[in-house]
Chain A
Amino acid sequence: MAALPTDSATARRNQWLGLALVVLLAAVLPFFLSNYRVFQLTLVLAYAIVLLGLNMLTGYNGQISLGHGAFYAIGAYTAAILMDKFGVPYWLTLPAAAAVCLVAGFLFGLPALRLEGLYLALATFALGVALPQLLKYKHFEHWTGGVQGIVIIKPDAPFGLPVNADQWLYLFTLGVAALMFILGVNLLRGRIGRALVAIRDQPIAAEAMGVDISLYKALTFGVSAMYTGVGGALGAIAVQFVAPDSFTIFLSIAFLVGIVVGGLASVSGAIYGALFIQFVPNIADQISKAAPWAIYGVFLIACMFLMPGGIAQVVGGAWQRLRRKPGKSV
């Protein structure tokens, strides 16, 4: 399993430089792609935020969730309802979705403290299957739009910026994702991140070292749900539509697939995982219209066999070798 983000000062400066470079590259990307591709990449960014949040919970802290689609849906509906019913500007819906999901996740995390491993997986699974039905519930229909869902309007670029709506939303989402990743890396590389891994590896010793396990686990659930909710809100704005059927249990499973394929307990793994869950189903569909999920399954199994530590580990290893070579020859 991947370690915590590395610590030496130069290594850290290089990491931030690398991140800045990636963000810069990502920022010019939409000007070379079709609007549809830009839209797809916007979703990748939203998913990456979700997967970072889920990875904090499952990869770093060792609490399995099969129900994060529920928090994604809560974030999405919070944004949609605020925009549609209250005319709240799209960017203001993000802190609202974050707050709602932080509280929802924390409250769910408290009783979940009593559950371990597969039992926790089942409890979160229950959440994941129950929520879409609740969204259809008659008495909530006034807010949720029932089975029909809610249509929202795509925001235009502000200040007369010379970019179209798709490009703007992509850039906006990129900015939010960069912010969420910076906060996430800070959290994971310091005292709290170490404590999360300690709880996963050896809870008794963690507690003996002074880690308040119950509080940390519940808070991690909250923070994880918060990340997921922000991703959900951004996803809803990008898709311009929310409906219960977009948030089936399959979405929750896809998120779990994303963090495992990308790399458990790895920050960059969230990005690789997001690319996987966005594009691999499409590719599978192109290969075989008749049995896309069979192709998807083959991809998944191949990933597990060829990259058991996740894509992040393979990329990280290759990067290390590349950088070490010139050093060794001197």
Chain B
Amino acid sequence: MAGSPLARKDTAAAAGEAAPLLRVSGISVRFGGIVALDNLSFDIAAGQIVGLIGPNGAGKTTLFNCLSRLYPFTGGDITFAGTSLSAVPRHRIAGLGIARTFQNLALFRSLSVFDNILLGRHCRSGSGFLANALRPPRIAHEEEDAAQRVAGLVRFLGLDALAAAPVAAMPFGTQKRVELGRALASEPRLLLLDEPASGLNHEEVDALATLITEIRDRLHVTILLVEHHMSLVMRVSDKVVALDFGRKIADGPPAAVRQDPEVVRAYLGTGPATAAAGAGR
């Protein structure tokens, strides 16, 4: 249970191990009578892929929303690269290096695929209204540079053929990929993926697994992955954190978490736990 990983973390700290990239320590979130997160703590080390699992309503998206500062949390704190997030306004999160995708998509519907991804670069410039209206060469270069980087990303994600098309016309899976591109465009250090595999078929999930590992290995991005698709999580994650009713019930290597009796019980209590069947909602 929650006791043992905490103890492990303490000894690690005592041994002088490098500070984690993200540290969630003892945060809680309540909505009226519902406890969406209950004294949650866990760490993510730089370079890790961490899977976050749990039945529907376990609080996974709520945690993302805390990291985006959309929801206020009580109790402890979240620190990212040593900075406490509680004092950071929402619009500065991306600039700090945390990017996310949304479970139910939040794209800019009237913009093209390309422009949606370009928006991800907003936080990488500080140019204001006046500078943009006058558009000196500095701004023009900045725009060209942004467009070039986005063109690279579009190729990396295999969206070349769709770049100019309006994003609203795309199928769900493609839109999820555009969101991934938009998040990557901000050059994050930590990438939060909320159910990237939903709406994908078997081969596409395979390709996604490869893509997620590539993002970590080639772009050096640390990843927190929320997914119901158990085989995907188990395949790519270095460690898995399991939630149930906002409480952490397991935290450790994928193989160990999969067999954890509490995890098995949590999934049996609400639906099938095994492999891809867990994706059904």
Closest residue of chain A to B143 (Cβ to Cβ) is: A190
Question: Could you say which of B70, B93, B118 has the most chain A C-beta atoms within 10 Å of its C-beta?
Answer: B118
A209-B94, A209-B120, A210-B123 are known contacts. Are A190 and B132 too (CB-CB below 8 A)?
Answer: yes
Question: Interface with A: B54-62, B101-109, B233-241, which one?
Answer: B101-109
Quick check: B111 and A4 within 8 Å, CB to CB?
Answer: yes
Whole-angstrom CA separation of A4 from B115 in the bound complex:
9
Whole-angstrom CA separation of A207 from B94 in the bound complex:
9
Interface assignment of A156: CB less than 8 Å from any CB of chain B: no
Contact of B110 among A197, A206, A211 (CB under 8 A): A197
Smallest distance from the beta carbon of B162 to chain A beta carbons, Å? 15
Across the interface, which residues of A come within 8 angstroms of B146, CB to CB?
A: 191
What 1/0 mask marks residues of chain B from 92 to 133 whose CB sits below 8 Å from any chain A CB? 111100011010001111111001001111110101110011
Interface assignment of B9: CB less than 8 Å from any CB of chain A: no
Contact of B94 among A1, A197, A198, A210 (CB under 8 A): A210
Closest residue of chain A to B68 (Cβ to Cβ) is: A208
Across the interface, which residues of B come within 8 angstroms of A202, CB to CB?
A: 106-109
Interface assignment of A115: CB less than 8 Å from any CB of chain B: no
A205-B102, A205-B108 are known contacts. Are A212 and B132 too (CB-CB below 8 A)?
Answer: no
Total chain B interface residues with beta-carbon distance under 8 A: 41
What 1/0 mask marks residues of chain A from 26 to 48 whose CB sits below 8 Å from any chain B CB? 00000000000000000000000
A184-B133, A209-B122, A210-B94 are known contacts. Are A1 and B110 too (CB-CB below 8 A)?
Answer: yes
What 1/0 mask marks residues of chain A from 73 to 114 whose CB sits below 8 Å from any chain B CB? 000000000000000000000000000000000000000000
Whole-angstrom CA separation of A190 from B136 in the bound complex:
12
What 1/0 mask marks residues of chain A from 141 to 158 whose CB sits below 8 Å from any chain B CB? 000000000000000000
Number of A-B contacts (CB under 8 A): 99
Quick check: B91 and A210 within 8 Å, CB to CB?
Answer: yes
Smallest distance from the beta carbon of A225 to chain B beta carbons, Å? 13
Whole-angstrom CA separation of A193 from B127 in the bound complex:
12
Quick check: A3 and B129 within 8 Å, CB to CB?
Answer: no
Interface assignment of A7: CB less than 8 Å from any CB of chain B: yes
Whole-angstrom CA separation of A213 from B91 in the bound complex:
8
Contact of A194 among B94, B109, B111, B139 (CB under 8 A): B111
Across the interface, which residues of B come within 8 angstroms of A161, CB to CB?
A: none
Whole-angstrom CA separation of A211 from B92 in the bound complex:
8
Smallest distance from the beta carbon of B135 to chain A beta carbons, Å? 4
Interface assignment of B30: CB less than 8 Å from any CB of chain A: no
Quick check: B134 and A183 within 8 Å, CB to CB?
Answer: yes
Quick check: B100 and A208 within 8 Å, CB to CB?
Answer: yes
Across the interface, which residues of A come within 8 angstroms of B100, CB to CB?
A: 208
Closest residue of chain B to A6 (Cβ to Cβ) is: B164
